[in-house]
Amino acid sequence: MAIINTIVNLGSSVMMPIIFFIVGLIFRMRPLKAFKAGMLVGVGFTGVSMVIDLMLNALGPASEAMLERLGLQLTVTDVGWGTASTIGWATPVMLITVIGFLVINATLLVLNITKTVNLDIFNYWIFLLVGAAIYAGTSNYWISIIAVWIIFIITLVVADITQPIIQKKFPNKDLSGLSFPHLTCLAWVPFGIVGNWICEHIPGIKKIKLDPETINSRFGILGEPISFGTIIGALMGILAGYDISNIMTLAVNIAAAMYLLPIVIDVLVSGLVMVKDHVTNKLKKWFPKRKFYIGMDTALLLDDPSVLSTGLLLLPITILLAFVLPGSRVLPFADLASLTFLFALVAPFCNRNIFRMLISGVLIVVVIFYTGTALAPEFTKAAVDSQITSVSSFEYITNLVGPVTTWIGWLFIRMSEWLAVLF
């Protein structure tokens, strides 16, 4: 347990290069080439973390200022995915669950039930957090573990199914051989489909086309990510009640994030492609009739302008919804700046149309607020079970961009609690 926690605490920037270096060696890659590929992945993850931190640090105070201006007093505090991941990795059901993930993935690959080799091991916390909440609600060790194993299997299968669509709908990316077994993001794919369907069946609205290419062709330089980031950042500053200097600073920081994120992701992808191509070639030689995908983090998709822009536009809308939704007790806070992740896998199913993605986003946030309210006792107890003392000052906690507040998380937690009562 201590060894696993030590490795996890290194973070994805250190953990993922080690994983890719080992994978390269397993598949007979030359050691120096495997080292270079792993380090490129590490440098890329470091760059992505730096740019996302720049965005989070800029948006965090602005979000807090907007909340203060509205005077929101709610009892379920969003503590963010960082705290949520710590809860997941520290849960009492972690060790057996993680071993099960590795065995299950290998077994499903051998049986040809999945094509995805899930190397996104750092994000196992997403599954573990659901297990932590189930354990908190049931006190049943094996119900918690088995429920999460079932979710893991479903996620791998759905990652296979969605891979061709995601590859096709991101025309400027080479996603061949990659899938995204990311439970939090995959859970919202049906909402992207529904949001797109709604817009397709409303006269006038169905003609609204706001994908990045159309915006860029119509507005020229004003439609480019750097300009769009500047405009959105300035609007955020105005809504936060900032003075002119702070508005300008926020605008430049958001523009910088939107411009730099594609650059650092390209570095990450260059290392990933070196390993992916080598692994794919070996697998084709060993299993000529099979197709395999490398499971990766949806952070690889965040540099798309439609994903970034929609996440930023949803931020003030989320705060407004917290103010007006009856019965919701969730106070959006730490994850406000991470809303972009919600659209990573929604975008392809809305044809990267920002307007349609925003409609889907409103539906998603409404669900998040009500599931977050309903499951706040389980989430808070999970933090206690994992001995996370940093949240002790809050009455109840949750996180917006995480698995527990998805409809899948809610369904499995409630079903597990029902089974625990029966057995």
Q: Give me the pLDDT at residue 250, please.
A: 86
Q: What is the dihedral of CA 205, 207, 211, 217, to 10 degrees?
A: -130
pLDDT at 157 > cutoff 80: yes
pLDDT above 90 coverage of the chain, percent: 39
Query: At 46, is the pLDDT very low, low, confident or very high (cuts 50, 70, 90)?
Result: confident
Q: Give me the pLDDT at residue 20, please.
A: 80
pLDDT at 66 > cutoff 60: yes
Residues 6+ apart with CB under 8 A from 111: none
Quote the CA–CA distance of 46 and 52 in Å, as a whole number: 10
- Look at residue 342 and give its three-state secondary structure: helix
Q: Give me the pLDDT at residue 221, please.
A: 58
Q: Give me the pLDDT at residue 29, please.
A: 85
pLDDT at 124 > cutoff 80: yes
The count of other CB atoms within 10 Å of the CB of residue 399 is 29
**Residue span of the structural domain in which 298 resides:** 2-422
Q: What is the pTM of this model?
A: 0.85
Quote the CA–CA distance of 408 and 403 in Å, as a whole number: 8
The domain total for the chain is: 1
92, 190, 196, 244, 351 from 361: Cα distances, Å? 33, 12, 11, 30, 14
Q: What is the pLDDT of residues 189-236, one digit of tens each?
A: 999 999 999 999 888 888 888 887 676 666 555 556 677 778 878 887
Query: At 273, is the pLDDT very low, low, confident or very high (cuts 50, 70, 90)?
Result: confident
Query: At 251, is the pLDDT very low, low, confident or very high (cuts 50, 70, 90)?
Result: confident
Quote the CA–CA distance of 75 and 365 in Å, as a whole number: 17
Token readout for 212 is: 């990045």
Query: At 71, is the pLDDT very low, low, confident or very high (cuts 50, 70, 90)?
Result: confident
